[in-house]
Amino acid sequence: MTAINDVLRSRARLVIAGVVTLLFVAPIYLTIVNAFKAQSQILESPEALPIPPTIDNLSTALARPDGLIQLGLQNSLIDVVFSVALLIPLASAFSFYISRRKTKARAAVLALLAAGLMIPPQVILLPTIQILTFFGLDHSYPGLILSNLGGGYLSFAVFVYVGFMRAVPNEIIEAARLDGASGLRIWWGIVMPLVRPATATVAIFSSLWIWNDFLNPLFILGPLQGQTITTGLYLTIGQYSVDYGQLFGIMFLAAIVPVVGYLFVQKQFIAGLTSGSSK
């Protein structure tokens, strides 16, 4: 009887795992297959394979007179690259500082940063816009980039870095100090190479979150500077009808950049996950 129950539980877990996997894979599958199908084929059977496949959706999206794809990708890349380029050194330097503090002080700082992860971004959106307007940074790339440095992005980066930097032996830090190395040199020349998997993890997750962000670019950047690729998708949805072929084509093109970026840093990302699981 016990053996039968074990078999049933094993099969139930397998079924649940299959359903969960299907829920994650289904949107990706639908985006890929429908990006290469005509509008009539999508409406008739959205889950069917593209037979015969067509690239009209991609060519039409790239040939839009408003340059939605080109400008959207450009704006999104500017937002992601500058935000992550500032987030990583700021978060890592602050994490190195607090990781060497006493336990109570470190716990208090981490508890304060935890609020950045628990407060929904929608709650602080209006105060953020008011602050940016006061400093004249609304409807600008600097304003959008600065808004990305606060809240959950910085908190997440600090939590990741602190976990890795606490594992750096104190003997290495003390030896560097005895050799006359400054705190800045120890952080950048010794600690940062040791926590490279953490940097890859922060870069991947932050880049994806910023790339997929909709509210901040919509309200902070605004139409005066153009749309990011995410807010540009909103323009393809008409009031009375939707060109699903073009919509899926733009979604497919918008997903290429994050996938390529992940392939470049996947080894460090996997090393970070493996290292974190063994701590």
Measured distance CA(116)–CA(112) in Å, rounded: 8
Measured distance CA(113)–CA(177) in Å, rounded: 29
Residue 197: which CATH number?
Answer: 1.10.3720.10
Q: Is residue 75 part of a domain?
A: yes
Range of the domain at 190: 66-235
pLDDT at position 225 is 56
Per-residue pLDDT tens over the stretch 38-59 = 888 888 888 888 888 888 888 9
pLDDT at position 273 is 53
pLDDT at position 87 is 94
Closest to 254 measured CA to CA, from 41, 77, 54: 77
Neighbours of 243 (CB within 10 A): 17
Q: Is residue 167 part of a domain?
A: yes
Query: Within the chain, which residues score under 70 in pLDDT?
Result: 1-3, 5-7, 151, 223-226, 238-241, 265-279
Q: Is residue 174 part of a domain?
A: yes
- Residue 276 identity: G
pLDDT at position 173 is 87
Q: State pTM to two decimals.
A: 0.82
How many domains, the chain? Answer: 1
Per-residue pLDDT tens over the stretch 126-150 = 888 898 899 988 888 898 898 888 7
- Residue 167 identity: A
- From the number of C-beta atoms within 10 Å of its C-beta (0-12, 13-18, 19+), residue 25 rates as exposed
Question: How far from 62 is each of 58, 66, 69, CA to CA, in Å?
Answer: 6, 10, 6
Contact 158, 95 (CB under 8 A): yes
Q: Is residue 176 part of a domain?
A: yes
Q: Is residue 51 part of a domain?
A: no
